[in-house]
Structure 1
Amino acid sequence: MLYCAMDTHASGRSLRVLEKLPPFPEGWYFLTDRKTLEEKKLIERKWMGEEIVAWSDEEGRVCVADAYCPHLGSHMGPTVGGVVRDGCLVCPFHGFTFDTTGRCVAVPHAPAPKAARLRVYETHEILGMIFAWWGSGGREPQWNLPEEPPTGSDWSNLGFTRLRFRGHPQETTENSVDLEHLDYTHGYYDVEPTAPLAIDGAYLKSCFDFKNVRRFAGLVDIVSEVSAVTHVHGLGFSFVEIREKTVGMSARMWVLATPVADTRLEMTLVTQVREIRRPGRFFVGLGFLPVPLRHRLMSRFFLSEERRFVLQDVVIWNRKRYCVPPRLSRADGPIGRYRLYCRQFYPELRSRAEPTRRLGLVGVAGRPAGEGRG
C-alpha cells in the first residue's frame, strides 16, 4: 500500500510527501541470462509482483510473458507442465499454443482464437543478460538501455551471483551517490568524487576514487587504489567501470536490482575482468602465474569480494526504513539530487502540472547518445 501526506511549500503549492516508496518503479529489470534460458528451455519467475514465463524460439527471439493462459487461466510454467515445442509455448491445460509475439497460433481441435493473446514485455539483451521493461500502467519503454560495452578474448566470461533480501531498488541504487557509507560501512578510505554528479533524464553518472585493504588468498593484505565510474539507467540497472591501479586490473560490474514482491528484492551481481598481462605489483606470485590461470583467479576473487561488500549492505537494507525528509549533513553528498532524479520512475505520482522531461538514450558503455521518446 502507498501512503502519502500533504505538505505546503512556501510558494503555496501542495507537494506530495511519500511515506513509503511504491514497490515497482518504472524501468528495465534483469530476468535471466541466455545460457540459462537455452539450458532450461522455459523458465518461470516471480518478477515485479507478477508471475511470468520466458522462452526463446528457434531463431533466438526471447519472449517474456504473463504466466497465465488467457483461455481458462492455467499457469504455463514448467512446474505446472508448460513446455516449449517448435519455439512456441504450449499450455498444459488444453494445449493452446503461443508464439514469441504472444499470439495464439494453434489449439488442438479448433481454429486459434484471435482474442487469445499473452501479455508480453519488451526485452533487451546485453552480453547475454536479458532484461524486460516494466512500465507504469503498461506504458511502453521511455528510454533505452546502453549498447554492449566493447569486449573480446581479453575479457573473462561473465560471473554471476544472486542475493535475495528485503529491500527496494531506489534504496540500493542510492549507494552510487552515498560516498560517505563507503568509509563507514565498508572501511574504504580517501573516498573522493572525481567529477560532479551528472544527470540526463534516466541516466545518472557518479565518479569517485577510493582506497581499501583487501586480503588476497587469505595470506596477505593488499592496499588497493581504485577508480570507479558508475552509470545508472533507472533503478534496476547500474553499470560500474572499475580500474584497480595497484595491480593494474580493469573490471566491470553490473548491479541489477529486481523487485520480486512488494518488499522483496533479488540483486544480481555480474562481473567481468580484463586480462592482467603486466601486473603493477607482484604479490603472492601473481606476476609469475600463466595469464589464463591468473585471469580466472582474479575473476573469481573479484566476484567474491564484491559479494562480500554487498552482504555488508544487506544487513542494513534488511532493517532499513525510508526516511522523509532525511536529516542530511554537509558530508552526505548529492542524496537530495538523487531523490529528485528518482521521481521520474513513479509517473503515477507526478503532478499534472509537472512537465514530462524527455529522457536520454544511451550509447556505448552507458554514455548518453541522444534523445529518446517523451
Structure 2
Amino acid sequence: MLDKEYDIVVVGAGPSGSMAAKVAAELGASVLVVEKKRAIGVPVACAEGISKPVLNSLMAPKPSWIATEVVGAIVTTPSGRSCKIEHPDAGYILERKMFDRDLAAMAVQAGACLLTNAEVVGLLSENHRVVGVEVSHRGNKKVVRSKVLIGADGVNSRVARWTSIYGELLPEDYHACAEYLLGRVEVDLGYTEFLAGNEVAPGGYAWIFPKSEATANVGLGISPHLTKKKPFEYLDELVEKRFPHASKLETISGSVPTSPADRLVGDAVMLVGDAARVSDPMTGAGIANGLFSAAIAGRVAARCSKEGDVSRKALSQYEKEWNKKHGKDLRYRARAREVFLKLTDDDFETIFDFVEKYFDGKIVRELRPRQLVVPLIKSSPRFLALARHLM
C-alpha cells in the first residue's frame, strides 16, 4: 500500500531516478519512486556504452551488467577511411535491462518504495510550492504528498515543464536518435566504431557498439534542425551499406539533450539525468552524468527534507556542487558542439588526418577533451578561425 506522504517522490526509475532514490533512502529519507512502464529497463533507449573508470568509481559492476569490455575505438570518415585507437580501459557495453533493474532493486533494498505501471499525472501545490503529486495506477488516482519532488523523467520532462524550470526543447537543443540491435553481423569485438559525415548523420554521428561477436547496437543521432530526413532514413542507409545481411533484433528511438539547462532546481523540486539535461552535448553520453547528478541530488534532498528547508535556495546546493564538479566541462562541450555543427565533410577528413597521426603508436590511458581539441585547433588556420574560443 502507498503511504500518504513521503520525504521524497522520484518520477522515473531509470538509472538516474534509482540512484537518487537509493542515495536518499540510505540516508534515512522515506522515498517513493513512480515508474510509468510495466517493467524496469525496457525498452532499452540508449547505445549502452559507459566509461569504465566512471562506473567503477560509482559502484562495483556486476558481471551480468557487462555485455563486453571496450578496449579501443575505430574512427571512420565520410570517405570510408578508418583508424583504430587503442584504449584498454575505455569502458563497457552494458546490458541495460539488467543494469537498470538491479539499480532499482538496490534502491528498494535501501528502503525506497517502487511503484511500476503508474504515472504522475499532475502536481499538488500550496502557496506556489509543490507539495505532492497525483498518481494514476491501474485506473485509480491518488494524491501523495512529498517534501521534495525529483524529476528523473527523461529528456521531455513533464516535471520540468510543470514547474517552469524550463520549457519545450527546440530542435537545435537535442539529437534525434535511432538504433537497431542487429544480429548476424561481423564486428571487431571490443572496439566501438564512430562514423562522422553530413551524409551519414548531419549534426551528429553514427555508432557501432559490438555486444558479442555477432550482435551490435548500430545507431545514430542527428540534429533535426539541419535536415528534413528522419533518423531511421539515415540509419537504414547505413545498415544496408555496412550490414546488408543483418537481422534487426530490436528497434530503438529517442532523443538526447545537447544544451545544458540553466537551472536544475526550484522550490521543493529537483531534476536529474536527462531531465536535467546533463548528457554530454558532443557525444550524447548520459548514463554516467545522470548517475553523478542523481547521487548529489539524492544526498541534498535527504538532508534538506530532514532539516525542513526545501526552498530553491537550500536545494541549490545540488546545483552548486554539480556545476563545480561537472558543469564547466559540460558547458565547454556545448561550445565545442556549436563548432562541430559548422564542420564540412572535408573538415572531417582533415580531422581524421590529425587524429591518425596524433594516436599513431599510442596506447591511451586517459583522454581529456582539451588534450585533443587544443592541438587540433592549432593545426589548421580554418579550425583556428572557427574554434579559437575553445583553446
Identify the TM-score tier after normalising by the shorter chain.
under 0.3
- More strand per residue: 1
Q: Which has the larger radius of gyration?
A: 1
Q: TM-score normalized by structure 2?
A: 0.25
- More helix per residue: 2
